[in-house]
């Protein structure tokens, strides 16, 4: 690879990183559907989750309906807090995937994408993470 190509590559990586940081944070407080389930629709993409802060009530079932933004980059979602009865993960596709669980403890739990390409930063490090806040 020529020196000029290397510089171009580094430049484009910097631009990509800057754009990724620009993604806006959004909080959603789950509403309780008539059947007693708290449902939230989410999107995951390069490199964000929207919303990236989700507030739910403890001891009531939750369904996170997650889909991937269109594009080639693979993404997934991992939400592991076994101490609170939460242990879900899924590969994201453009068709929504439903993650169902019932949080048994209050607290703030992180979800993230665990994808990582070669020597690049992980998607999580690039900003593809968020929190589930379980409240009384």
Question: Where on the chain is the footprint of Cu ion (CB under 5 A)?
Answer: 75, 113, 115, 123, 128
Q: Which is nearer to Cu ion, 18 or 31 (CB)?
A: 18
Tell me how far apart the alpha carbons of residues 108 and 130 are, in angstroms, rounded to a whole number: 10
Closest contact distance (angstroms) between CB of 10 and Cu ion is 22
**Separation of alpha carbons 73 and 134, rounded Å:** 30
Taking the complex as a whole, the smallest distance from the CB of residue 112 to Cu ion amounts, in Å, to 8
Per-position DSSP letters for 68-102, written without gaps between them: EPSSSS--EEEEEEGGGTEEEEEE--SS-EEEEE-
Residue 128 CB, nearest approach to Cu ion (Å): 5
């Amino acid at each position: 690879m020529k020196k000029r190509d290397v510089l171009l590559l580094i430049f484009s990586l910097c631009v990509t990183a800057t754009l990724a940081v620009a993604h806006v944070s959004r909080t959603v407080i789950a509403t309780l559907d008539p059947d007693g389930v708290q449902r939230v629709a989410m999107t995951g993409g390069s490199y964000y989750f929207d919303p990236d802060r989700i507030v739910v009530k403890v001891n009531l079932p939750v369904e996170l309906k997650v889909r991937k933004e269109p594009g080639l980059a693979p993404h997934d979602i991992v939400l592991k807090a076994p101490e609170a009865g939460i242990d879900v993960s899924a590969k994201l596709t453009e068709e929504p995937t439903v993650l169902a669980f019932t949080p048994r403890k209050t607290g703030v739990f992180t979800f993230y994408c665990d994808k990582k390409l070669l020597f690049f930063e992980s998607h999580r490090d690039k900003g593809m993470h968020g929190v589930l806040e379980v409240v009384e």
